[in-house]
Amino acid sequence: MSAVTWLAIAGGAVAPGLMAFGLFVWADAWTYSPLALNAFKCALGSSLFGLVVLIFYRRPMPERAVLWLAFSSLLGIVIADTLWLAALQILGARRMIAIDALKPFVAAFMGYFLLGDAVPWLGYLGVVVCALGVYLLNVESAEKKEADEDAVEADDVAVEEATEPPYLRGYAYATVNVVLDVYAATITVAERGPLSSAEVNLLRFGLAAVLLILVWVLREGRRKSDAKPMARRDWLRVALGVVFVTFLTPLITVWTMFVLPLAVAVTLWSLTPLWALPVSVYFGQKVSSRAGAGALLATGGVVMLAVAVT
C-alpha cells in the first residue's frame, strides 16, 4: 500500500479517539435540547471549516456537488445527528459508542449494493465477532442496575408518566442514526466531485447549521426553557468537545473516505469502543470487565472486517 493509504488508515484509527474524548468532555455539560446542541455544534464546526477553506481553498464549487452534499447534510447531520444527540442523552456515551460500532456492517451492505464493494468471508466473520462485542457492551452491570433503581426512586413522577422504557427509545434513535449516517456518507463519496474534506464539511455543516438554527427559532426560540442555565465552564466544555467531535474528527474521517473504500473507512470509525475505555477511566468512570471484553471483541471484529476489504 502507498504512504497515503497508510496515513489514511492511521488517521482513521486515531479519529475515533478524538471523538471519544470530545463525547466525554461535553457528556453532562449541555442542559438544553438536542436540537439546540446540534445547531450549536454545526454553527461552530462550520465556522472552523470556513476558516480552513478561506486560508487554503478559494475556488468555485460544482453545482451538482453542492446539491448532493446538501441532501447528504439533511440526512446525515440535520436528521441523523439530532437523533444521535437525543440518544446520547438517554443512553450515555458508552452505549452510544457501542451502537456506533454497527456502522461497518451497514457500510458493507450499502457499499456492496450502492458502490459495488464486495466483502469476503473474513468480513462476515468480523461482523459476528463485533456483534458479540456490542452485545456484551450493552449488558447491564450490577452497578448500573443499582444506579437505575436509585434514579427510579428519585423521580417517581417521570417514571409514572413514561409510556415506554427510555432505553428502548434511545436504541431506536441510535439505530436510525446509524443507517442515515452511513447512507449520507455513501452519497458524499459518490457525489463530492473534486472537493476536499474541508470544503465538503463546510457545505454539509454550514447548510445544516442554517437549517437547524431556523428550526430551533421556530420550535424553541420563543419558548421559555425549563433547562438549567449553563455556566461559563460548561459552555467552554461543550465548545472544546465540538472542536474534537465536529471539526477534527470529520476533517479526518471524510478524507479517509476519499482515500479508502467506504467499508474500510467506516470500519475505522468504529474503533471508538476501544478508545472509550481509557477515556472513561480518565474521567473517573468505572469500566466493568464485561464492558472491556465487549470492546475488545468489537474492535477485533472491526479489524477482521478491515483486513477482509483491503
Q: What angle do CA 59, 200, 220 make, to 5 degrees?
A: 120
Band of pLDDT at residue 262, cut at 50, 70 and 90: confident
The mean-pLDDT minimum among 3-7, 19-23, 68-72, 213-217 falls in: 3-7
Q: Is the pLDDT of residue 198 over 90?
A: yes
Question: Which residue would you say has higher pLDDT here, 68 or 307?
Answer: 68
Q: What pLDDT score does 153 carry?
A: 40
Band of pLDDT at residue 161, cut at 50, 70 and 90: very low
Separation between Cα atoms, residue 43 and residue 247, nearest integer Å:
11
Separation between Cα atoms, residue 263 and residue 266, nearest integer Å:
5
Separation between Cα atoms, residue 60 and residue 195, nearest integer Å:
10
DSSP string, 242-308: HIIIIIIHHHHHHHHHHHS-HHHHHHHHTTHHHHHHHHHHHTT----HHHHHHHHHHHHHHHHHHHH
State how far the alpha carbon of 173 is from the alpha carbons of 34, 79, 83, in Å.
12, 10, 5
The pTM (predicted TM-score) of the whole model is 0.78
What average pLDDT score do residues 26-34 get? 84
Q: What pLDDT score does 185 carry?
A: 93
Burial class (CB in 10 A: 0-12, 13-18, 19+), 166: middle
Q: How many Å separate Cα 70 from the centre of its chain?
A: 19
Nearest alpha carbon to residue 274 among 253, 258, 296: 296
pLDDT digits (tens, 9 = 90+) for 69-93: 999 999 988 899 888 878 888 887 6
Q: What pLDDT score does 156 carry?
A: 36
The residue assigned the cell 500500500 is 1
